[in-house]
Amino acid sequence: MLEQTVQIVSNEPDPTDLYFRLVMSAPRIAPLVQPGQFVHLRIQSIKDALLRRPFSIFQVSGDTVSILYKNVGKGTDALSRMRPAQDLSLIGPLGHGFTVPPPGGESPLLVAGGYGMAALYLLAQRSPQKGIVFVGGRRRVDILCQDEFQSLGWEVRATTEDGSHGGKGLVTQPLLAELRSGTAGRKLFACGPTPMLRAVGRIAEEFNLPAELSMDEHMCCGVGVCLTCVIPVKTGADWEYQRTCTEGPVFDSTRIAWDANS
């Protein structure tokens, strides 16, 4: 993990101005990145600039690191107005990422909701085994990198809640249909909203499949100090809080104690 002042190479919006792709020149961080890890960005122009914002590392190419972000609030809005050649303070790569499937290992099924596709792209790129990516979102604009996953040799099955792209419904519906046709030698990897991750965890349990889930909780320090980001994790018959920024964000689904606080 390193702190580096990096320079913006490009910061391009999609046609709706909702999602942006930010490419940064980060020569010391780029070679260290593992799929599913994240960076913590300081956005100087906002009042609470001391509070960094976490983003999954979307792509790595040579010396550059990219993120794919949704403009949802004051930090991401300020970020969306930054221009090439401006500087950003970056800490990364952070966290415990996905296990890249070994050659000849389980066939991967990726499940992504919204910007969760960003966290799964590097895994898709580095996996020697290509499989199926199930991508879901509310509307067509939320289906982000279908072409990029297809260019890597993955089959993409898209769903939108309003039916404006792909099948109509939730991303777990085509996943269930696929698993009913056979489960041997498969493994699930997922990133997206918590209800989606919980549903994927239940499906993994029902079909007795291994699954890794990226738990994106709200974070402050990003480096294991403040305990803002904890989730309940099983430890034998009991459970304890663990930090998603350091022990995660990726956890084996069988370890998450979903009902610990209820």
- What residue type is 136 in one-letter code? G
Among 24, 68, 110, 204, contact with ligand FAD (rule: CB under 6 A): 68
Which of positions 111-150 make contact with ligand FAD (CB under 6 A)? 115, 118
3-state SS, one letter per residue, for 18-34:
CEEEEEEECCCCHHHCC
Which of ligand FAD, ligand FES, none does residue 32 bind (CB under 5 to 8 Å by kind)? none
- Shortest Cβ 53–ligand FES spacing (Å): 11
55 binds ligand FAD, rule: CB under 6 A: yes
Q: Which is nearer to ligand FAD, 18 or 176 (CB)?
A: 18
- Shortest Cβ 166–ligand FAD spacing (Å): 21
Among 13, 31, 73, 182, contact with ligand FAD (rule: CB under 6 A): 73
Q: Identify each DSSP E strand in the chain by its residue range.
A: 2-13, 19-25, 38-42, 53-56, 59-61, 64-70, 87-94, 107-113, 132-137, 155-160, 167-168, 186-191, 211-214, 230-235, 238-243, 250-252
- Shortest Cβ 194–ligand FES spacing (Å): 16
243 binds ligand FES, rule: CB under 6 A: yes
C-alpha–C-alpha distance, residues 261 and 85, integer Å: 46
The interface region with ligand FAD, picked from 70-78, 99-107, 127-135, 171-179 by CB under 6 A, is 70-78
Residue nearest to ligand FAD (CB): 73
Q: Going by C-beta distance under 8 Å and a sequence separation of 6 or more, which residues neighbour residue 109?
A: 131, 132, 133, 134, 175, 178, 186, 187, 188, 189
228 binds ligand FES, rule: CB under 6 A: yes
According to DSSP, the β-strands at 211-214 and 132-137 are unpaired
Structure tokens at 16: 């709706």
Q: Going by C-beta distance under 8 Å and a sequence separation of 6 or more, which residues neighbour residue 223?
A: 1, 40, 91, 94, 245, 246
Q: Which is nearer to ligand FES, 177 or 225 (CB)?
A: 225
- Shortest Cβ 75–ligand FAD spacing (Å): 3
Q: Which is nearer to ligand FES, 97 or 131 (CB)?
A: 97
222 binds ligand FES, rule: CB under 6 A: yes
Q: Are 108 and 133 in contact (CB under 8 A)?
A: no
Among 72, 177, 225, 227, contact with ligand FAD (rule: CB under 6 A): 72
